[in-house]
Structure 1
Amino acid sequence: MQGIFRRRNLPHWDVPGHPVFITGCLRGSLSAVGLKQIDNYREELEQRSRPDKFTADQWEHHKQKLFFAFIDNLLDMHSPVQHLAEDEQAKIVANAFLHFAEERYQLLAFCVMPSHHHWLFSIVDDWEDMEGQRLRSLGKQDRTPREIISHSIQSFTATMCNRSRGVEENYWQQETFDHWARTEDEAIRIIRYIENNPVKAGLCEHPEDYQWSSARIRQELRISEGDPIPKMLLP
């Protein structure tokens, strides 16, 4: 496996040619109790012995998925901050994902939940090459394409959602939760996970019933799983 690995408080992988699964959380969406639970669960995972059926790399990947699922359950069921339950803010975030679809990335799935968002995308090679040349010409190569894309989404939506709320404050948690899909089958599983999140959280009965999700667009435009969502603007 080749790629770029960085760690701040959370691990971040950039692996060329593989879709990226990102979860962004509202600032304060994880309570102090929840954050403590997360730290305890992370420590417990690190102390687990690796089963024989996993290689060391597979085991780290598996633990990362377990860790993410634990956090996502807290966000769905126990989040004290839910600004994105307001339609105006949810639409801002959904349209931000759709704005650069087919230009910077192939948008494979997204869902805007009350306290967080999920999205899966695959970076467009031509844009990545062009952006790389631009950064090299400026002597700036300290950010990966994933970081550039994610930062632009988080920065724009924070500004616009705060404007909608009439406040000026930190909107998103500083770091996102990142995961890369190793195979096409895993990408399909992630798409289903993202689009089923509102059902799992009790917000609707069927994925396509949820307004701020690629599932509704997929059904309306008859887009198959794994095929990208086109650039568009939600009314």
Structure 2
Amino acid sequence: MKSTTTMRTRYIPDTPIHITYRLYGSIPNLPLQKLHSSHRLRKLRLQEKFPADRRNEDRESKQQYVAACLSAEVDHYLRYDQLLDRATTGPRYLQGAAAKRIIFDSWHHIARQENLKIYAISVMDNHVHVLLENRSEERLVSLIQVLENHKKFTATRLNRLHGMPGRRVWAEKEYSRTVRHGGFEHVLWYVLNNPIKAGLSDSPLDWIGNWWAPDLYEAFVLPRVA
């Protein structure tokens, strides 16, 4: 995936950012712990292979280290996303048109309120992908605050929909990935093709949980499906 990776981006940038967040309990603790442990070990090995003093003295070593770290972060994210797609147990609170509509409506409300541009949303049954950016040139928009507000609102609405007041809905942490220059179309289709790779749909256009900005249709969607 052509993007840089951060575990906790503070602000929504004025370039596209890909956000993934999930339902609480959607990945069992043991596989999640193994995934994170494997990632930490890989980073330690990279630090041993490219010691700090060597990176400071040798520009090529620094570049190789940065590239290897980026590759490790991307691999970690992809394995994380695979765990979500392949989950056979765990909550499915986002199943059905009504639940997915709650997610859509919340993001569109936030976009109007915060002057965000939403490019695409893919609501799976146990997690969500969003591709968006900040269109405000005059102020910063906190990603953490936006997600907290979104999760609080949607949790209340989902629990009301299912008659389950007080149920914990969302996992605390998310993945956020700033899209590199030239990588927008790749990430856009990664988001929209999520139901395809999870075996839930044959076409991104048929998945009830997919939404994309209307102005993207002729430039990106139509050429791909025509």
Task: Give TM-score, length-normalised by structure 2.
Answer: 0.77
- CA distance 1:112–1:15, change in 2 (3 Å): closer
Across the aligned residues of Structure 1 and Structure 2, the Cα RMSD in angstroms comes to: 2.9
What's the counterpart of residue 209 of structure 1?
A: 206
Contact residue 24 and residue 169 of structure 2 kept, 8 A: yes
The answer to whether residue 178 in structure 2 is matched with residue 180 in structure 1 is yes
1:149-193 deviations in Å (ceiling 9; x for gaps): 22222221111111112221221001111111121x222211110
Runs of 5+ in structure 1 lacking a partner?
133-143, 227-235
How many Å apart are 1:218 and its aligned residue? 4.9
Report the residue type matching 1:81 in the other structure.
P
| Larger relative contact order, structure 1 or 2 (CA cutoff 8 Å, min sep 6) | 2
| Larger-Rg structure | 2
Task: Give TM-score, length-normalised by structure 1.
Answer: 0.74
What's the counterpart of residue 140 of structure 1?
A: none
| Secondary structure of the corresponding residue to residue 222 of structure 1 | helix
Contact residue 26 and residue 173 of structure 1 kept, 8 A: yes
How many Å apart are 1:48 and its aligned residue? 4.2
Report the residue type matching 2:219 in the other structure.
S
Structure 1: which 4+ aligned runs deviate by more than 6 Å?
50-53
What's the counterpart of residue 161 of structure 1?
A: 158
Task: Show the 5 A alignment for 1:23-62.
Answer: 23-49=20-46, 54-62=63-71
Q: Which of 113, 121, 125 in structure 2 is aligned with 1:110?
A: 121
What's the counterpart of residue 123 of structure 1?
A: 134
| Secondary structure of the corresponding residue to residue 94 of structure 2 | helix
Q: Which of 98, 106, 121 in structure 1 is aligned with 2:108?
A: 98
1:127-149 deviations in Å (ceiling 9; x for gaps): x52xx5xxxxxxxxxxx522222
Aligned residues: 202
| Secondary structure of the corresponding residue to residue 85 of structure 1 | coil
Runs of 5+ in structure 2 lacking a partner?
51-59, 222-226
CA distance in 2, matches of 1:62, 1:13: 22
CA distance in 1, matches of 2:44, 2:17: 27
| Secondary structure of the corresponding residue to residue 69 of structure 1 | helix
Q: Which of 219, 222, 225 in structure 1 is aligned with 2:220?
A: 225
The answer to whether residue 180 in structure 2 is matched with residue 171 in structure 1 is no
